[in-house]
Structure 1
Amino acid sequence: MNPAPASNPPAFRAIPDLVREHAGTAPQRRALALAAGTEVRAIDYATLDARMDRVAAALQRDGLQAGDAIALCAATSIDYAAVYLGALRAGVVVAPLAPGSTPEAFARMLADAGARRLFTDAGSADTVGSAGQGSVPRISLDGSAAGQPLEDWLAAPGSHPAPVAIEPGWPFNIIYSSGTTGTPKGIVQSHGMRWAHVMRGAKYGYGPDTITLLSTPLYSNTTLVVFFPTLAFGGAVLLMPKFDAAAYLRLAEAQHITHTMLVPVQYQRLMARPDFDAHDLSSFRMKFSTSAPFNAALKADVLKRWPGGLVEFYGLTEGGGTFILEAHNFPDKLHTVGRPADGHDLRLIDEAGVEVPPGEAGEVVGHSGGMMTGYHGQPEKTREAEWFAPDGKRFIRTGDIGRFDADGFLTLFDRKKDMIISGGFNVYPSDLEALLGEHPAVAEAAVVGVPSTQWGETPVAFVVARDGHAVSAEALKDWLNARVGKTQRLSALHLVSELPRSAIGKVLKRELRDRHRTAAPRT
């Protein structure tokens, strides 16, 4: 699909410079807040700006220069955010690493990033282990024995770093995305890519009076695509270290939240609460979602019962192109992920790397002003992620299969790697998951392909039943199989208490395949 027209973008601005401006024009405006139980602790822009200066000055004192890297592996906190922003002010690249990583994966990521300092806390001790011990100094964000206390490490109050003129092409952060298997890949995002996220923010009501509630972790790009624009426009970010549906609703009402980012499973849990409608959520202007499939029926329920707009982003951390569904403007397109963002060129290609004709399905590839530089230190992986048009234009491959409708909206089928080839026919797990979701006893469903001696692969479902609904796995399997074609029929269905998910709500299908492999003989 040809790129949508883009208006003339404003000149590049570095996010740390924008924070400095807000500190100058509105020093006492709230910038960051942290919800701890029933209490909310906040700092204003003057305080945040000063703390960023102390971080940047300390990094320069320690000999770090623009382009060097630090790593963050800790729970969400105000100091986590301040260190992240302060490092950026010094031109230092940030690698935010998941505290839930295995020690082995963490050690690989720390080494791959070339981090010269590690900021961590007591809660991340099992993950951090001995990685980088003796070669990567550790600073403790919570004052624990995890490292040198942050307050002792910071430059003296009132310190100012040497000015750094940040350029758009400089690396901003390294986001590690290994999916559920394989060696972690460091996705290098530039300052220009983050600026592209900021530029689209004006369309969604960001401003000095914005109050954004975030309950996903700060190491996730899901969180950061809303976190940075909020601060760039001078708004306030309220951080929840851990998502809890009841606490989220209380905070949203009490703090008059205007914006939020939630993954679909969080929307599901919020909407399922019997007290949801009792909360006053009229302050909301915009709600966002990304990172996982968002069921059309759930989108419709959010639109009906939760004030404000609903926007779904579909794209990769690697960048390359974004689809945007403004669900409140296109209620008849809730089964899609929207249309390409302004200035983004999204196309579909076949297995041979040739663009498919209109109306046919293919792998989504994209080009935009927000694209990763590459996978850090892995040029071969970078090449695998790229597709070049006949004219040489560079695109990023998504690995997702989709089809454009006549209005330019994209319907996604599945991850290319998740598509099941059974008896030579393509079976899309998302089709079966959607059909299972129509059964009144089904709360959630995930379908995976497993090896089959007869068919090559065969579909297997994992289902979470709704509270108060009794149903057997065999009866549910028979119900589904009576409604699909022969090649789509399930060979097995497992009832489970919950689906395994990543920290940002993605179903971990590899774990489901492993679970089936150990529970059932090969069919």
Structure 2
Amino acid sequence: MIATQEFDTIARLIRTHAAQAPGRTALVDAADSLDWGSLDALMDRVAASLQRDGLRAGDAIAICASSSVNYAAVFLGALRAGVAVAPLAPGSTPASLARMIEDAGARLLFVDAMAAEAIGPAAPGAIARIALDASDAGTALGGWLMPAGTRPAEVELQPSSPFNIIYSSGTTGEPKGIVQGHGMRWAHVRRGAKYEYGPETVTLLSTPLYSNTTLVVFFPTIAFGGCVVLMPKFDAAAYLKLAERKRVTHTMLVPVQYQRLMARPDFDAHDLSSFRFKFSTSAPFNAALKADVLARWPGGLIEFYGMTEGGGTCILEAHLHPDKLHTVGQPAEGSDIRLVDESGREVPVGEAGEVVGHSAGMMVGYHRQPAKTREVEWFDATGKRFIRTGDVGRFDADGFLTLFDRKKDMIISGGFNIYPSDLETVVRSHPAVADVAVVGVPSEQWGETPVAFVVRREGDVTDTDTLLQWTNAQLGKTQRLARLNLIDELPRSAIGKVLKRELREREIR
């Protein structure tokens, strides 16, 4: 039924699940769990407490904490009150967190001990803090909540009503608040029918709840009445044990997590036969790793390509298209994906261009930043609105999209366009290499020149010069690396994106 509904709210669906199966488990973390009846009642108390404190539909709260049952319940309870949620990364700098809290217009801040320490005194002083854990980070959640049995006033929501404000990762600059509407989240839920979500679903999530990566699987699981198991911190060995013990059916992992799991010598000793679907998004997922997952891990493998801003999605059903693992798949149903050149003109089929997309799941805009919103919009000849991704790609004859690189990451050296991903593929093929990132740095002679940062496999002693000479022997003259640096670990965001800006800064300091 969900798949055919034009619009509904996740909060209302939870009420239905609570009525039908109040004792079935909905949320689990390392220390706690909630069944559907308890979750529904707690959401009512959260919603009523927000309304008591004067928050109305369209207002916002901020949550800055590790993933937990209480985090999820507060997020869902806010939605029942029509209050938008700004989930913030505790790993951000205190100054950045303060700016995000202020930008969101958050009326309340929900934290745990770790996040409170990260925020420090930099957060706006007038905002009240509520502690999601048993710490003294703020007013105790239990003391803040209205009494058990309290019901909130009903709120009427539209597809355009703000659902959450997701702040961009900041891998390319100052984070921007991406306002997503209830309609966008409902589009993700409707898509979930295809991936066998239901009351028997057990979804294991080890990526943080402040990330859109996590939420695109979290909300469909909840909407279809499944159980979400929250793992606050990813550890490959612990993940495999938990997946086996909980008989997990669905999961979302970023490529670096797949890499660490598949590299474990005991991976094949675990019984993962309960899996139906595994998902990935957020960062490049190389074809060889996808092939390894398909060969050794039961269940389908789905890669989503898109942006938190929305504007269209490509989906690769890797288990159905093993010959297309180098691509990110085909445009999803309802997504209009096109390629445009530097002048904003659509490119002919077979040529590369910047990926732009349109769908029902597009952000309303960047919060309080209309100029930034206009920068990422592209309109076709009919006035149809698209969102620019900043990625460069090309469609093949079968309509599958191959990505080359972020437009901003493309290196222009001596007038030639160099895609770092091409160079990374070559370097990664050396048996000594576990991980690699290539960035462009200023060059007086060429304008820009490529530099590689390489993580060697454990125990390998291949030296820098050997790797550099081997790599350049495989590359064309205009592609050759100027330098190759050995590094213990690539800097990554919490969802696995390589922080290339940090690498550039390290190189030019």
Match of 2:137 in 1: 146
- Does 2:88 match 1:90? no
Match of 1:167 in 2: 158
Map 1:121-520 onto structure 2 (within 5 A). Answer: 121-518=112-509
Distance 1:315 1:180 in 2: 16
TM-score w.r.t. structure 1 length? 0.96
Distance 1:139 1:469 in 2: 48
Query: RMSD in angstroms over aligned alpha carbons?
Result: 1.1
- Structure 1 residues 132 and 515, CA gap change in structure 2 (3 angstroms): closer
Match of 1:31 in 2: 26
Match of 2:13 in 1: 18
Distance 1:74 1:276 in 2: 30
- Percent of aligned pairs with the same amino acid: 73
Offset of residue 411 of structure 1: 0.3
Distance 1:146 1:466 in 2: 41
- Structure 1 residues 8 and 33, CA gap change in structure 2 (3 angstroms): closer
Offset of residue 135 of structure 1: 1.7
Distance 1:101 1:277 in 2: 36
Distance 2:487 2:275 in 1: 35
Distance 1:442 1:270 in 2: 17
Cα contact 1:262–1:289 (8 A) shared by 2: yes
Show structure 2 runs of 5+ residues with no match.
Answer: none
Cα contact 1:93–1:172 (8 A) shared by 2: yes
Offset of residue 373 of structure 1: 0.2
Cα contact 1:110–1:131 (8 A) shared by 2: no
Cα contact 1:108–1:184 (8 A) shared by 2: no
Superposed CA deviations along residues 125-165 of structure 1, whole A, max 9, x for unmatched, are 23322244442111111132211110000010111001112
Distance 2:483 2:140 in 1: 53
Distance 2:175 2:333 in 1: 31
Q: What residue identity is the alignment partner of 1:209? A: E
Distance 1:183 1:108 in 2: 10
Distance 1:234 1:168 in 2: 21
Offset of residue 317 of structure 1: 0.1
Distance 1:332 1:132 in 2: 50
Distance 1:284 1:121 in 2: 32
Superposed CA deviations along residues 81-121 of structure 1, whole A, max 9, x for unmatched, are 00000000000000001100101111110000000000011
Superposed CA deviations along residues 200-243 of structure 1, whole A, max 9, x for unmatched, are 10101100000000000000000000000000000000000000
Cα contact 2:94–2:123 (8 A) shared by 1: no
Match of 2:68 in 1: 77
Offset of residue 75 of structure 1: 1.2
Superposed CA deviations along residues 238-293 of structure 1, whole A, max 9, x for unmatched, are 00000000000000001000000000000000000000000000000000000000
Distance 1:151 1:144 in 2: 12
Distance 1:8 1:82 in 2: 24
For this pair of structures, how many residues does the alignment match? Answer: 508
Cα contact 1:216–1:223 (8 A) shared by 2: yes
Cα contact 2:3–2:193 (8 A) shared by 1: no
Match of 1:4 in 2: none
Match of 1:3 in 2: none
Offset of residue 181 of structure 1: 4.0
Query: Which shows bigger deviation, 367-376 or 158-167?
Result: 158-167
Offset of residue 467 of structure 1: 1.6
Cα contact 1:30–1:43 (8 A) shared by 2: yes
Q: What residue identity is the alignment partner of 2:414? A: G
Distance 1:423 1:370 in 2: 40
Offset of residue 76 of structure 1: 1.0
What SS does the aligned partner of 2:355 have?
Answer: strand
TM-score w.r.t. structure 2 length? 0.98
Distance 2:207 2:60 in 1: 23
Q: What residue identity is the alignment partner of 1:278? A: A
Cα contact 2:26–2:226 (8 A) shared by 1: yes
Match of 1:52 in 2: 43
Q: What residue identity is the alignment partner of 1:289? A: S
Distance 1:305 1:115 in 2: 45
Show structure 1 runs of 5+ residues with no match.
Answer: 1-6, 519-523
Superposed CA deviations along residues 154-198 of structure 1, whole A, max 9, x for unmatched, are 010111001112211100000000532433210000000000000
